[in-house]
Chain A
């Protein structure tokens, strides 16, 4: 190791990052985990500033201040419903940094051999994650259509482009001085990132965001190889494996493979399938629904992305409060892919002050849904669609679902009869024990709260 204190600071920082992830495993220690990560990062930055290679401080300090000035409002002012977008934009920033450092390093010394291999991986992943995250941000923020956009030969174009970029990387490793190829390589990486996200629809975002998180980490890790820095290797590897594990969990929760998520363009085929005969459904007014809820002993609320869109989480917590006060057992069933990123529903409900021990995972609640009086579904569709179990031909066949249909009464708050993201009709709407509650989730739940509170007073 070279002289100076920084190698020791890096070592401590690496240990703190590992502890940060370890403490993240349970809510009781999670905040300690964040602090540990913060201290680790601070040590890494201070250690780097103290290195004798670093002699020009003024621009670094200005850049650090600008970054902080952008970062603080991005974190503090962002509404919780926008957390997926923020993650995407933050990922884009991190990936851009990594890609630009790789570019600067390339032009600085035209490295050969293994270093150039690491550098090309860093640059490829960095630039593609940058544009892909920006695209994901656009789709999540609905600046771009969130439905998948497909065209003929799309997979062929994407794979061809990726192969071409990989081929250029090999050529650059063989002959790094070939500076003509480098900008083309960068251009291809940027384009591939855009094309990768175009065919991906909103409901697949949890998987994709996690996967991009993994790429950003791997890019940082590759930078560690190029710069001979073990702290970067470790931090990047932790991030890379974390993103990968989360995206595997998300894929499993939809019973789909990676390739299917990335190249399958889900939901495109089915758009015309729903237009058949209009089948009768039973609907109920807020008064009727409120009286059923009051008489129930156990209620399970199943939130979906629609709850986030309608910003209904606070009203739902009020509903939880009035029902709990009447002695009703109220719990929340959380499907792993509900929402637009892993754990999205948990954060929204936590924001609305729902105690987290009321949030129950799919596997734990499914066995109890058969003994539940009312399953109240708010803005969820595909994750409760029995077709996943009963219809082998359905595009969501085999996807694990919350067994809401087993509950004695199923209530579904919905704006209208339109199909869900996957464009599939939901058998659940037509079942004899189902009541459709038509209306905006937020206003419907608040009238439920009013009804129940009034009858308590009476």
Chain B
């Protein structure tokens, strides 16, 4: 691929990430970390590609299998616990100053 293009994508996404994260209230830093941790499990895409390929070697299959299991663990637990945490954040007196 055109690596230059890829590097531009990376740079823009990184700057966008900085701008977005800076705005996150410290109140939500823990759920934020769980969420980004869950998003990092996007590596499941690579894992599926490796293990689903035709004529893959046994090594690829085994590594791919473990990778899908661990990425899915990361994915499922990351999203579920983020949601579980956010459910707890309540504002009880919405009109108090």
**Chain B contacts for A54, CB-based, 8 A:** 48-49, 52-53
CB of A342 within 8 Å of the partner chain: yes
Q: Mark A12-45, 1 if CB is under 8 A from B, else 0.
A: 0000011011101111001101100110110011
**Chain B contacts for A236, CB-based, 8 A:** 40, 42
Contact A37-B73, Cβ < 8 Å, known A26-B25, A346-B27: no
- The count of chain A contact residues (Cβ–Cβ below 8 Å) is 108
Contact A232-B42, Cβ < 8 Å, known A27-B28, A97-B74, A242-B32: yes
* Chief secondary structure at chain B's binding surface: helix
- Chain A nearest Cβ from B68, distance in angstroms: 4
Q: Assess the A237–B91 pair: CB atoms within 8 A.
A: no
**Chain B contacts for A75, CB-based, 8 A:** 76-81, 84
Which of B50-70 touch A at CB < 8 Å? 50-54, 56-57, 59-61, 63-70
Q: Mark B15-53, 1 if CB is under 8 A from A, else 0.
A: 111101111111111111111111111111111111111
Q: How far is the CA of A34 from the CA of B3 in the complex (A)?
A: 31
Contact A44-B68, Cβ < 8 Å, known A104-B63, A344-B30: no
Residue of B nearest to A363 (CB): B26
**Chain B contacts for A78, CB-based, 8 A:** 81
Q: How far is the CA of A371 from the CA of B27 in the complex (A)?
A: 24
Residue in contact with B74 in the complex, picked from A71, A346, A351, CB distance below 8 Å = A71
Residue in contact with A238 in the complex, picked from B39, B47, B75, B78, CB distance below 8 Å = B39
**Chain A contacts for B79, CB-based, 8 A:** 34, 37-38, 41, 75
**Chain A contacts for B69, CB-based, 8 A:** 63, 66-67, 70
**Chain A contacts for B59, CB-based, 8 A:** 104, 107
* Chief secondary structure at chain A's binding surface: helix
- Chain B nearest Cβ from A110, distance in angstroms: 13
> Interface segment, A86-94, A170-178, A409-417?
A86-94
**Chain A contacts for B22, CB-based, 8 A:** 245
Chain A CB within 10 Å, residue with most, of B29, B87, B96: B29
Q: Assess the A107–B20 pair: CB atoms within 8 A.
A: no
Residue of B nearest to A78 (CB): B81
CB of A283 within 8 Å of the partner chain: no
Which of A416-439 touch B at CB < 8 Å? none
- Chain B nearest Cβ from A6, distance in angstroms: 10
Contact A30-B28, Cβ < 8 Å, known A59-B65, A104-B59, A233-B6: yes
- Chain B nearest Cβ from A338, distance in angstroms: 11
CB of A310 within 8 Å of the partner chain: no
Q: How far is the CA of A40 from the CA of B38 in the complex (A)?
A: 11
Q: How far is the CA of A96 from the CA of B46 in the complex (A)?
A: 12
Q: Assess the A94–B43 pair: CB atoms within 8 A.
A: yes
Q: How far is the CA of A353 from the CA of B36 in the complex (A)?
A: 25
- Chain A nearest Cβ from B23, distance in angstroms: 4
> Interface segment, A144-152, A155-163, A216-224, A392-400?
A216-224
19 sample A-B contacts, Cβ–Cβ < 8 Å, listed by A number: A30-B89, A37-B38, A45-B44, A48-B45, A56-B51, A67-B69, A67-B70, A74-B73, A74-B76, A75-B80, A93-B70, A104-B50, A114-B3, A217-B40, A234-B13, A242-B20, A243-B36, A343-B31, A343-B33
Since A235-B42, A238-B17 are in contact, a sample of 6 more A-B pairs with Cβ atoms closer than 8 Å, ordered by chain A residue number, is A34-B35, A41-B38, A48-B48, A59-B64, A66-B69, A239-B36
Q: Which residues of B contact A (CB under 8 A)?
A: 1, 3, 6, 9-10, 13-18, 20-54, 56-57, 59-61, 63-93, 96
